[in-house]
Amino acid sequence: MEKEVVQKILQAALALDVPLGALDTIVSTIPDEPERAAFARNPAIVMREVNESLIRPIARQYPELDPDK
C-alpha cells in the first residue's frame, strides 16, 4: 500500500478519537448504572477495534507514523 494512502487511513482513524470521546462522555452521564455500563462498552469496543485493526498495524509497518511516539 502506498504511504500516502496509509497516512490518510491513519488520519481518519485518529480523527474518530474526538467524536468517540464525546460519545463516551455523554454515556457516562446516564444515571442508571446498569444502563450506563451497557452503553459504555460500545464506544470502548469501537475505540479498541480501530486501534487494534488500523492504528497498531500501521504503526508496526511504518514506525515513523506511530501516533504514540
What does the pLDDT read at residue 16? 95
Give the pLDDT confidence score for residue 1 in this predicted structure: 84
pLDDT digits (tens, 9 = 90+) for 10-55: 999 999 999 999 999 999 999 999 999 999 988 889 999 999 999 9
pLDDT higher than 90, residue 5: yes
> Which pTM value belongs to this model?
0.79
CA distance 43 to 60: 24
**DSSP per position, the chain:** --HHHHHHHHHHHHHTHHHHHHHHHHHTT-SSHHHHHHHHHHHHHHHHHHIIIIIHHHHHH-GGG-TT-
Q: How far is CA 60 from CA 27, 36, 43, 47, 63, in A?
A: 32, 35, 24, 18, 6
**So what's the pLDDT on residue 69?**
81
pLDDT at 22: 94
